[in-house]
Amino acid sequence: MSASLEITDLSHRYPGAERRSLSGVSLAVEPGELIAFLGPSGCGKTTALKIVAGLLRPESGEISIDGRPVSGVPPEKRGAAMVFQKSLLFPRMAVESNVGFGLRMRGMDRGEVSRRVREALRQVHMEGFAGRRPEELSGGQQQRVALARALVTGPRLLLLDEPLSALDANLRDEMRTLIKDLQREGGYTTIFVTHDQEEAVILADRIALLFDGRLQMYDHPRAYYDRPVSRRVARFFGATNFIRGRAENGTVETTLGRLKIDEPAQAGDVTLTIRPEAVRLGTGENSFSARVTEVTYLGTRVTCGLQADGSTLRINLPPHVGLREGDVVTARLPAGALWPLED
């Protein structure tokens, strides 16, 4: 059965560090959700995961599982299982012994251990590898065994610390699908640490984005593209178009003209953002004339640079659109795709 998780005002500083690795992080996870802790290296995401697992004691704050504070509760009694970036399998043990190790340490009946090991290997599609040693497995197979070792304990919290980062692109795709399927089938409450935006968007129900130990945004994946809370968040998710202006009465005065926006903006200086794929060619509301400064063919799309009245924008178009550098075009910015940022 899956568990709820609540992180309240969590802070942590490693001995000798100048700044905190986590500062006042708070969020709640519903039972059965898959949450991605996302951010660049050193942002605090793995630190937060280790505190949830009970491997680190926080400087301040609290972790609650199903509404019960677990400060001081040892890792093995939290109902959590963790899979690390490296598989950390015992090299001298066969796969079935690796997977069943934790159950044997608990004194579980040998027959029950065998039954659970078989089921866990079935879940990760490794049924025929029970007798092999880790050195006989590929990197992807080793990670599947590590995942089986976590699942065999029947965890209520599944904690995954960048388990796919060392795999090549094809294996990562396979493992993403496997993790998603397992999480949905078993209903595990799952925290997945990654620095890969695409991975977070593919896997997560919600994403917790961390910069410098602080929670920047906690929302569904689409929100990071459609309504980021800041320029820094928008940039992290690939936004390139930022338009400075002054908001008043539902419009923003910019160098591109007076732009209408659907989302209310507080009066005064504001920065608007719009995704390159949301910019359109043609006349209409919020249209302007621009010169094409760059055309890059990327197979599935063409990305172009536009220059207009001192503003530079990028636009993504279908690959068949025949624009060339120096062309003058009319482009428009749909009001519903413009989003005002906090900074």
User: Shortest CA distance to 259 belongs to which of 333, 312, 331?
Assistant: 333
Tokens in use for 294?
């760059």
Domain residue spans in the chain? 5-226, 240-341
**pLDDT-derived band at 283, boundaries 50, 70, 90:** very high
Structurally, at CATH architecture level, domain 240-341 sits in: Beta Barrel (2.40)
Range list of β-strands (E), the chain:
5-12, 22-29, 34-38, 60-65, 68-69, 80-83, 157-161, 189-194, 206-211, 214-219, 242-248, 251-254, 257-260, 268-273, 280-281, 287-297, 302-308, 311-317, 328-332, 339-341
> Counting Cβ atoms within 10 Å, is residue 171 exposed (0-12), middle (13-18) or buried (19+)?
middle
pLDDT(343) > 70: no
- Given this model, what pLDDT does residue 1 score? 66
59-87 pLDDT, tens digit each: 999 999 999 999 889 998 999 999 988 88
- Given this model, what pLDDT does residue 103 score? 82
106-138 pLDDT, tens digit each: 878 888 889 999 999 999 988 888 889 999 998
For the chain, percent of residues with pLDDT exceeding 70 = 99
- pLDDT average, residue stretch 220-238: 93
- pLDDT average, residue stretch 269-281: 94
- pLDDT average, residue stretch 225-247: 92
- pLDDT average, residue stretch 149-161: 91
For the chain, percent of residues with pLDDT exceeding 90 = 64
Q: 5-226, what's its fold?
A: Rossmann fold (3.40.50)
Cα gap 149→117, rounded to integer Å: 8
pLDDT(166) > 80: no
- Given this model, what pLDDT does residue 290 score? 96
**Assign residue 314 a region: left if phi > 0, alpha if psi is -120 to 50, beta otherwise?**
beta
- Given this model, what pLDDT does residue 169 score? 79
Helix H or strand E segment including 60:
strand 60-65
- pLDDT average, residue stretch 184-190: 89
pLDDT(236) > 70: yes
Which residue(s) pair with 259 in the sheet? 252
Average predicted confidence (pLDDT) for the chain: 92
14-59 pLDDT, tens digit each: 998 889 999 999 999 999 999 999 999 999 999 999 999 999 999 9
pLDDT(200) > 90: yes
Cα gap 128→214, rounded to integer Å: 44
294-327 pLDDT, tens digit each: 999 998 999 999 999 888 999 999 988 889 999 9
